[in-house]
Structure 1
Amino acid sequence: MSNMNIDNNVGALGITPPPVTTLGVQPNAPTLPAHINDSFDATTSAIFIANYGDNHRYIRDEERWLHWDGRHWNTDIKAQQLSDALEDMRNKLIANQSNYHLKEIAKKLANQRSLSQIKKHLESRNELSLLSYDCDSHEHLCALENAVYNTDTNQLVYDPVRIRPLFLTRRFPVAYSPDATCPSWEAFLRQIFCADEELIRFVQKAVGLSLSGKVLEEKLFFAYGSGANGKTTFFEVLNRIFGSFHQEIDSTILIKSKVQDQRLALENMANLRGIRFATSNEIPERATYNDMIIKQLCSRDMIAAKVVFKSVTPFMPTHKLWIRSNHKPLFNVHDGGMMRRICLVPFAYKVPESERIERFEDTLIREKAGILKWIVDGWKLYQKEGMKLLPESMKTALNEYAHECDSLKQFIEERYIIADYATTALKDFTANYNTWCKENNFRSSNARTLASELRAEGYEIAVGHGNARNIKGLGLIE
């Protein structure tokens, strides 16, 4: 049995929710407001709020309605649930033959213009209004199909009375079961990770991190490997499990280009609000990471984002970023901020053609309850162990990756000797380096940047005659 605690008390949520009235059980006769001789809008709204208000909320800054279905808050597409509730209210008012004013309201509600008018009025009522930051604002909570999970305490709360006032609109579309298993999923992981139990354990913890809305690790999880290695299946399954906590972002914002699309970057960042599991697919060959964007997306710092036709809105990040690709983007290995962020997860296995199963994710997703428990167990492993120690396979892969990206080191190894007696002019070194970069599809650099990187590697830059700068310890191979 799992060591998951089940607690329906408010303390299990780690917050104190506001009081709740009903659970949406609609009376046969509507509750009436104190004054029914007010305007049509005011009276009708008051009746609606008294009888149906607990189950409906309007998010003003996003101009959309939410509806409580008894267990979850859902976006009310085209306000259909609101319309149904108003229709139900009208039928009950018609049945109430004792009050002239109520019968008049019921007649008006049959008119489409009056119905649209009352919907508009309900949007302005403070009792029903929220702002987007009122929703999904508890970083330690995540809604599941049958409960809410507190990642701070590892407790589950099942009581809808306690869940409704939290306004959790994102959820895993999977019910938690402490006894669920996922033997096919675990066999799949052993296959694609070459039975490397240390690597599998790390991946489980890394995925488990996305249960929490807290950014506990400023990491970029980079899933790399050539085709037919299980990457696509792995992410397709997880994307389905994470449900509305998952968001795909455009890979073009993650790489450098001659013309950066700032609007696209801001819009993609806006889509990350409230997300726990962010993914991006396929980086072009020989592309270079946009260091600034990567650092911003893999950080605890506030993100500035923008929705079309709206102002820039900052928010605190909750996501963990995964990139999957058949190609390794270049990055500045001399930038400590990038080096400490990148976690290269090697997908080294190649599934034999005879063993490939079309849409294998559809088979694995049958174990969704067990996979959710695997993710929860990964979160608990992270709480216990952290992830400071990388598996040996990841260390090796990252070192190889860093060397492939280290154009300066490769250039020196090819063109220079390293000796105490040697010296070379920084100006000549820079010119030779940029020519080499052009030939090898690396980005060129300037003397100032190269001098800084050379010093970081332990080389001394001395000023000689005429203020010419020379690199000590390097000599051009003749």
Structure 2
Amino acid sequence: MNERELLNHVFVEIIDKVNKLEAKKDKKGEVIQRTPLEYCIEILKQTPHKIIASAGRIWIYYNGRYIPINSMAKAENYIKRLIMKFNAVRAVPSNLISAVLNELFTEFHELYIPKNSNVTYINMKSNVLAIHKDGKIEVLPHDEKYNFTYQLPYDYDENATSPVFDKFLKTSLVDEDLKDVLGEFLGYVLDNNSKKYEKAFFAYGDGSNGKSTLINITKALFGVENISVVEITDMGDMLKCALMDGKLLNISSDAKRNGLETSAFKKIVSGEPVLGKYLFKDIYTIENLPKLFVATNKLPFHNGDNSFGFYRRLLLVPFKNIIKDEDKDYELESKVIANELPAILNFAIKGMQRLNKQGKFTEAVAMKEAMNTYKESSNHVASFVEEEQYEAVDESFKTGTSLIELFGAFKNWCNTHGHNPYSSSYLSHELEHMGFISYKNSSKHFRIVKNKLKNETGFEPNTDDYE
């Protein structure tokens, strides 16, 4: 049963349980209308499931978690049907519906999972799993106090095994360290105490290498209803950010080679509050953000942010092993999803425990190599300087090159290569970061010239300081 079907089921159950109200009369015995507040009180009193308002939405607690009513039209229809049942009428004025709904929004509640550095709580289908820091695992009953907005669609089984999934990992991630990183990240998704690690998982590589299979298994592991699919290039969009509110994981696929705006990306990876908005609703602050999983053939170019703060947030996991058609198991996903999710949860829990013990993700050699390559390919200015044969010169050279001229050449180079040149200030910042010296000569110049000009003069500058 998906979330929409579940909500409809809950609505039917609630409508069936509430009772018709006796007519309200004044001292003269004449019938008078109830106020919106009185209707709100009756709804909260008679509804068999707790109703709250949080993050601009109405939520209903049902079978271990809070379910959101994301559509205002659905919320209004819900109120309308309740008032019709209360009054035994077939029509309700729209202004009364809106007024009662506004009263419900005053029932504000913060849906934050309680923080406890010694315990991580995971919401299972039939119970709550408590993972203690000392390694103890405890099974507890559901309780609304945990404020869960998600629920894994299966139960815990400490003895579960996953032979098919294990074989898949051996084929797609031949490096044992990479398997450890995957397990640590899956555990990190479920660890409500884990913001400090601030990492996004990038699975990348060309061809049939298992990325799509891993995505589908991951969706089943965490539950499709608990996953958003906002692209990393859209994370500065408030409407798109609202889609991530309360989700466990956001999966982006085939990230565009251009256009990654790192400011919003870094905030979300770090779990910092971002602004969100539902259509026709006020802007609000999102604090319950998902972890990020990106699957792509090529790593995306970004907005020129070559800072440590950007790169340290990335877990670059290469999928290099191409799986031949004759070696493919086309039923692998269905086998794993039908039989092995509890075992993969155990794999994630072990990863979570290892991550917390180490205090950092496992350092895989393949990931270090991938990071070095990504840094080199992402620095468009360095590539421009190298390809266009610009070199540093010292003060003995007559003149350098103006920033205006350099930016014109850089724009042409970017247009040829399909990159965004951004601005002259970006170019200036990167040149200075690379060690090139700037100076004033009516306008900003750099002590840098094309190799061709140097050869024409026969000048060989002292470049020791720039090596």
**Which interval holds the TM-score relative to the shorter structure?**
0.7 to 0.9
Does structure 1 residue 452 correspond to structure 2 residue 429?
A: yes
Structure 1 residues 191-210: aligned runs within 5 Å: 191-194=171-174, 196-210=175-189
Aligned residues: 413
Shift in Å, 1:218: 2.5
Give the AA of the match of 2:327: E
Q: For residue 294 of structure 1, what is the aligned residue in structure 2?
A: 265
**1:419-441: per-residue Cα shift (whole Å, max 9, x none)?**
66696623244333332222222
Q: For residue 465 of structure 2, what is the aligned residue in structure 1?
A: none
CA distance in 1, matches of 2:59, 2:276: 23
Does structure 1 residue 471 correspond to structure 2 residue 442?
A: no
Name the CA shift for 1:440/1:118 in 2 (closer, same or farther; >3 Å). Answer: closer
Name the CA shift for 1:164/1:328 in 2 (closer, same or farther; >3 Å). Answer: closer
CA distance in 1, matches of 2:420, 2:88: 68
Shift in Å, 1:321: 1.1
Shift in Å, 1:130: 4.1
Shift in Å, 1:389: 5.5
Give the AA of the match of 1:294: F
Name the CA shift for 1:151/1:311 in 2 (closer, same or farther; >3 Å). Answer: farther
Shift in Å, 1:473: 8.8
Name the CA shift for 1:302/1:152 in 2 (closer, same or farther; >3 Å). Answer: farther
Q: For residue 271 of structure 1, what is the aligned residue in structure 2?
A: 243
Q: For residue 241 of structure 1, what is the aligned residue in structure 2?
A: 221
CA distance in 1, matches of 2:442, 2:34: 85
**1:128-155: per-residue Cα shift (whole Å, max 9, x none)?**
9743x53354365431112223456465
CA distance in 1, matches of 2:129, 2:409: 58
Contact preservation (8 Å) 2:249, 2:291: yes
Does structure 1 residue 426 correspond to structure 2 residue 407?
A: no
My pick for the range that moved more, 406-415 or 225-234, is 406-415
Q: For residue 322 of structure 2, what is the aligned residue in structure 1?
A: 350
CA distance in 2, matches of 1:348, 1:447: 37
Q: For residue 206 of structure 2, what is the aligned residue in structure 1?
A: 226
The one of 158, 181, 194 equivalent to 2:140 is: 158
Contact preservation (8 Å) 1:303, 1:317: no
The root-mean-square deviation of aligned C-alpha atoms, in Å, is 4.3
Q: For residue 321 of structure 1, what is the aligned residue in structure 2?
A: 292
Shift in Å, 1:224: 1.0
TM-score, normalisation: structure 1: 0.72
Contact preservation (8 Å) 1:202, 1:387: no
CA distance in 2, matches of 1:418, 1:452: 17
**1:360-409: per-residue Cα shift (whole Å, max 9, x none)?**
32121120111111111111111111335531101111111221222222
Counterpart of 2:158 in 1: which secondary structure?
Answer: coil
Contact preservation (8 Å) 2:201, 2:294: yes
Structure 1 residues 209-220: aligned runs within 5 Å: 209-213=188-192, 214-220=194-200
Q: For residue 360 of structure 2, what is the aligned residue in structure 1?
A: 387
Where does the alignment leave 5 or more consecutive residues of structure 1 unmatched? 1-29, 87-105, 255-261
Shift in Å, 1:311: 0.9
Give the AA of the match of 1:248: V
The one of 405, 429, 436 equivalent to 2:378 is: 405
Counterpart of 1:375 in 2: which secondary structure?
Answer: helix
CA distance in 1, matches of 2:381, 2:238: 33
Counterpart of 1:399 in 2: which secondary structure?
Answer: helix
My pick for the range that moved more, 411-420 or 265-274, is 411-420
Name the CA shift for 1:72/1:297 in 2 (closer, same or farther; >3 Å). Answer: closer
Identity level (%): 20
Contact preservation (8 Å) 2:125, 2:152: yes
The one of 65, 68, 74 equivalent to 2:62 is: 68
Shift in Å, 1:206: 1.6
Shift in Å, 1:448: 3.6
Name the CA shift for 1:330/1:436 in 2 (closer, same or farther; >3 Å). Answer: same
Structure 1 residues 67-216: aligned runs within 5 Å: 67-69=61-63, 71-74=64-67, 112=90, 130-131=107-108, 133-138=109-114, 141-150=121-130, 153=133, 155-160=137-142, 163-194=143-174, 196-213=175-192, 214-216=194-196
Counterpart of 1:135 in 2: which secondary structure?
Answer: coil
Contact preservation (8 Å) 2:228, 2:247: yes
Q: For residue 330 of structure 1, what is the aligned residue in structure 2?
A: 301
Name the CA shift for 1:142/1:389 in 2 (closer, same or farther; >3 Å). Answer: closer
Counterpart of 1:278 in 2: which secondary structure?
Answer: strand
Counterpart of 2:197 in 1: which secondary structure?
Answer: coil
Name the CA shift for 1:368/1:122 in 2 (closer, same or farther; >3 Å). Answer: farther
Give the AA of the match of 1:158: L
TM-score, normalisation: structure 2: 0.73
Contact preservation (8 Å) 1:245, 1:276: yes
Counterpart of 1:321 in 2: which secondary structure?
Answer: strand
Give the AA of the match of 2:182: V
Does structure 1 residue 311 correspond to structure 2 residue 282?
A: yes
Contact preservation (8 Å) 1:215, 1:320: no
CA distance in 2, matches of 1:351, 1:175: 32
CA distance in 1, matches of 2:57, 2:318: 43
Give the AA of the match of 2:438: I
Name the CA shift for 1:364/1:388 in 2 (closer, same or farther; >3 Å). Answer: closer
CA distance in 2, matches of 1:438, 1:117: 56
Q: For residue 11 of structure 2, what is the aligned residue in structure 1?
A: none
Name the CA shift for 1:425/1:74 in 2 (closer, same or farther; >3 Å). Answer: same
CA distance in 2, matches of 1:157, 1:60: 28
Where does the alignment leave 5 or more consecutive residues of structure 2 unmatched? 1-17, 27-31, 456-467
**1:284-314: per-residue Cα shift (whole Å, max 9, x none)?**
3x42311222223222321111111111101
